[in-house]
Amino acid sequence: MCNVLGDAVNSLPDASRRRFLKTLGATAAAGGLATVLPSPASAATATSATASRKPGRNARTRLVLLGTGGGPTYVGGDRAGISTAIVYGDKVYVVDLGLGSYQRLASAGLNPDTGLGEALTNVEGIFFTHLHSDHTVDWPGLWVTSGMNASSREPGRPIPVYGPGERDTLQRVFPPTRPDPEVVNPEQPNPGITGMTGYLRQAFSQDINDRVRDSNFTRPDTMFDLHDIDLSGVWTVDPLGKPPRLDAPLEIMTDGDVRVTATLVDHHPTAPAFAFRFDTPDGSVVVSGDTCVSENLIDLANGADYLVHEVIDPAFVDKLTSALPPEVGPAVREHLLGAHTTIEQVGRDVAEPAGAKNLVLTHLVGDSGSPAHWRKAQRGYSGNLIVGSDLMDLPVGRR
């Protein structure tokens, strides 16, 4: 879930904020906030074919869900923040790094098991769909400790990292009736993944200097090869953040048999926001990032073996925003439903027209409830529906 809710709550008078948080606490106690990292009961798969969490272990190409929780608010539960791995042989490609996903990567069995710190040994690419905190919060920890967690990695082989570049304009204020807030870091208010990582170098300089001078540890800035995704001639991001329709996908990276492409998705006003497609000789996986129904994404996911897509529960949004004052609630509701994809939409309006063979629900935003709640996404979709859970391991193509 986006940061808009927190911004709206913080703008309320003290009395209204206390009433809202009291209501929110009751909601969380009853069934959990959507950003809640829900219980394992909600993470059951939609078909008996996915009853095992690791049926993909014998496949050359695999889809591994590292974290399936959505949103920046943490109130307990067993889902880590959003993160997805695509595996080809021994090569691991990671999309997004939500809260707890670094630990999931270390425990997923995708790297050598030496007991010496190998979480990044086999990682051959990291990709950020957008720079909201619930998709990037584990990046600082991974970045600064990278040299100590790739013990068997060949020296001099940095990990490529791709993500949004620096934006020239601030997004529009939400709700529009609110005065312009003070701009954070006005010298560089919209850094891309390269600029953001440059600030990490400053923030952790004491730790880095200590470890390099004391033990000659590998500097983290030598561990990664950073790339701002170039949108020159494609789109100049504007304050509304609604991307244009693309004629073709963006070429991101080719690594032997693995080809990575991307498209612009609509997570307005946050922009740019990307979806990524991974093609191997065995099949294809598309990861949506955060988006409402997007024609660009449907194009990118055409015929994909797996479409890994975010989902939000509109009934939860209604319950949540009804606790807000009338001058805030309707605007928050409009944003949450306008920049995300609902249970009713994701199968019928995205996976079906894309012709995706499997639809995997992730970034689950809603009450934890019964798995049947999420299976409503099957309506209007003729493929196989899978409700994602952390560390689910799925085969792509032949085993």
> What distance in Å separates the CA atoms of residue 64 and residue 384, rounded to the nearest whole number?
17
Looking at residue 121, its pLDDT comes to 98
What average pLDDT does range 369-384 have in this prediction?
Answer: 90
Higher pLDDT, 176 or 397: 397
Looking at residue 328, its pLDDT comes to 78
Looking at residue 5, its pLDDT comes to 53
Percent with pLDDT over 70 in the chain: 83
| pLDDT for residue 370 is more than 80 | no
| pLDDT for residue 52 is more than 80 | no
Looking at residue 59, its pLDDT comes to 94
| pLDDT for residue 184 is more than 80 | yes
Which two tokens mark 391?
């560390």
Q: What integer best gives the mean pLDDT of the chain?
A: 87
Looking at residue 330, its pLDDT comes to 80
Looking at residue 37, its pLDDT comes to 37
| pLDDT for residue 368 is more than 70 | no
pTM over 0.75: yes
Higher pLDDT, 372 or 356: 356
> What distance in Å separates the CA atoms of residue 54 and residue 336, rounded to the nearest whole number?
33
Helices (H), ranges, the chain:
4-10, 14-30, 101-107, 133-136, 139-144, 193-203, 205-215, 295-300, 314-321, 329-338, 343-345, 352-354, 371-374
What Cα–Cα distance (Å) separates residue 350 from each residue in 39, 70, 299, 304, 339? 27, 19, 10, 12, 14
CB 105 within 8 A of CB 390: no
What is the number of domains present in the chain? 1
Residue 3: pLDDT band (50, 70, 90) is: low
What average pLDDT does range 231-257 have in this prediction?
Answer: 97
> What distance in Å separates the CA atoms of residue 38 and residue 32, rounded to the nearest whole number?
7
| pLDDT for residue 46 is more than 80 | no
What average pLDDT does range 103-131 have in this prediction?
Answer: 97
Looking at residue 201, its pLDDT comes to 96
Question: Over the Cα atoms of the chain, what is R_g?
Answer: 20
* Phi, psi at 61, each rounded to 5°: -110, 130
CB 371 within 8 A of CB 343: no
Give the pLDDT confidence of 192-201 residue by residue, as tens digits.
999 999 999 9
Give the pLDDT confidence of 61-84 residue by residue, as tens digits.
999 999 999 988 675 678 999 999
Minimum mean pLDDT range among 4-8, 30-34, 122-126, 338-342 = 30-34
CATH number for position 89: 3.60.15.10
Looking at residue 47, its pLDDT comes to 36
What average pLDDT does range 287-293 have in this prediction?
Answer: 98
Looking at residue 16, its pLDDT comes to 52
Which residues, 6+ apart, have CB-to-CB distance to 92 below 8 Å?
85, 86, 105, 110, 111, 122, 123, 124
Domain hosting residue 261, numbered range: 4-396
| pLDDT for residue 250 is more than 70 | yes
What average pLDDT does range 321-335 have in this prediction?
Answer: 82
Residue 53: pLDDT band (50, 70, 90) is: low
| pLDDT for residue 153 is more than 50 | yes
Give the pLDDT confidence of 81-114 residue by residue, as tens digits.
999 999 999 999 999 999 999 999 999 999 999 9
CB 102 within 8 A of CB 138: yes
Looking at residue 98, its pLDDT comes to 97
